Amino acid sequence: MLWIKSLHVIAMVAWFAGLFYLPRLFVYHVDCADEAGRRRFEIMERRLYRAIMTPAAVVTVLAGLALLVDYAWAAYSKAGWLHAKLTLVALLVVYHWLCGRYLAALRDGRNTHSARFFRVFNELPTLVLVAVVCLTIVKPF
């Protein structure tokens, strides 16, 4: 099970790297004035989302579920911290999905959000990461 836990942590780090970087690319994309630059951002965003973020998210969730099924649920099923963590992970999946929607909107010229919006949007995964790590390590309730 330690191999699964290692895989879970590695995939989680890769997923968060993408969750931190993709919205920052959106900021630059919105501020970009030339067509060649916009095309470059579209390629970078698409590759990050499809080749790194989405596979990392799938591995994170699947490895987490394996850990949950193997021993965590029996040990912690009544622990509030685990339910809070799972809720935050579900919110991260929604955030990931929203990133995909914003990526498509930027690509198709349908974006209605400002660079400022994406700067604020970019901070949300940091807050979730802090909460998830604290819940997992400290197990406060």
Binding residues for heme: 8, 85
Cα 48 to Cα 11, 42, 74, 90, distances in angstroms: 14, 10, 36, 21
Region for residue 139 given its phi and psi (left: phi exceeds 0; alpha: psi -120 to 50; beta: otherwise): left
Binding residues: 8, 85
The helix/strand/coil state of 56 is helix
